[in-house]
Every structure is written in C-alpha cells, then in structure tokens.
Amino acid sequence: MSTKNLDINVHHVTRVEGHGNIVVNVKDGSLEKCELQIVEPPRFFEAFLRGRSWKEAALITSRICGICSPGHQLTSLKATEDAMGIEISEQTLLLRKMLLGGSFLQSHILHVCFLAAPDLFGEPSVIPLAATRPDVVKRALKLKKLANDTCDVVGAGRCTRSQWYPAA
C-alpha cells in the first residue's frame, strides 16, 4: 500500500540525552521534510559570567549540563585560552583528550545501557530490566563507574557528581 501524503510529528523523543523532535512530511509521494530537531532551550549561561573573573568561567559553564560537563568545561577553557593567546602543552592537550574520551564513554554507556537496552530486552525501562537481566545492568553499572572514575581522575573530580555524594 502506497501513501502519497504522510505527516509524522514526534515531539519529546524519549530515551535520548537532551530534548528532540522528529518531523517527517511526505506530499504527493515526495519527501518534503525529514528532520531531527534538537530543541534544547537556551540556558543563558553567558549572563552568569558577566562581572565574574575569567578564572571562574570553566567551572560555571561546566554546570550547563549534568551529562556532558567536561565538554562544556573544556570548550570554556579553550575559549579563554584563545582570547588570552595562551598555548597549552602537548601533555595538557593529551590529558584533555583523555578527559573528553572518558566523557564520551559516560554518555555512550548511559545511552546504550540505560536508555536503549531496555527496548532491546523488551522492558519499559532499566528498573524492570534490573529484575529480569541483572547481569546486563550490573555490567552497565561497572562500565559507567569506569568512565566516571576516568573522568574523576583525569579531571580532578570535576566531571561527575561523586564529589557531592561521597561513598558510604
């Protein structure tokens, strides 16, 4: 069966980090629009930085997102360094790449293991998955801890919330 006209509008796509919509429009059998819309609201962190010392910028901007704080922090550092004409050492660059790699691991493990895996195993969320497939969730938690620990060690504990929630 062929459909000549089709409008698909999925707002608030779930199981992704952040906010997004999917829009697909077909008219007379031709694709007119096919979009993944990222609809993150502005956070106006620039206003938080007005009147503050440049020394605070990276720490303040790292709070833009609870998932990818190292990325925002490193971007702020790079902007500050570029503005001041600062060139970093090769060692610093490599450490920052390692920190960003740990951050990517955190993000991907969260997405694959906690947001997508329940669908793959036919569960509505990770909570029931923990009951039906505890091995999968335990492995995911170990991987997440490894990524968090990598960021904590390389980023001096500024990448996860572990400094706010001390171990029991």
Q: Are residues 30 and 54 in the same domain?
A: no
Q: Are residues 159 and 78 in the same domain?
A: yes
Contact 32, 25 (CB under 8 A): yes
**Lowest mean per-residue pLDDT among 22-31, 50-59, 82-91, 147-156:** 147-156
Tens digit of pLDDT for each residue in 123-161? 999 999 999 999 999 999 999 999 989 888 888 765 554
Q: Are residues 76 and 137 in the same domain?
A: yes
Bridge partners for 6 per DSSP = 26
Residue 137 structure tokens? 């969730």
Q: Are residues 112 and 155 in the same domain?
A: yes
Q: Are residues 96 and 154 in the same domain?
A: yes
Backbone Cα Rg of the chain: 21
Q: Assess if residue 110 is contained within a domain.
A: yes
Q: Assess if residue 126 is contained within a domain.
A: yes
Does the pTM of the predicted model rise above 0.75? no
The CA distance from 142 to 167, in Å, is 15
If one counts the domains in the chain, the total is 2
- Number of other residues whose CB lies within 10 A of the CB of residue 138: 11
Q: Assess if residue 1 is contained within a domain.
A: no
Residue 101 structure tokens? 């790699």
Q: Are residues 110 and 62 in the same domain?
A: yes
Parent domain of 22: 6-38
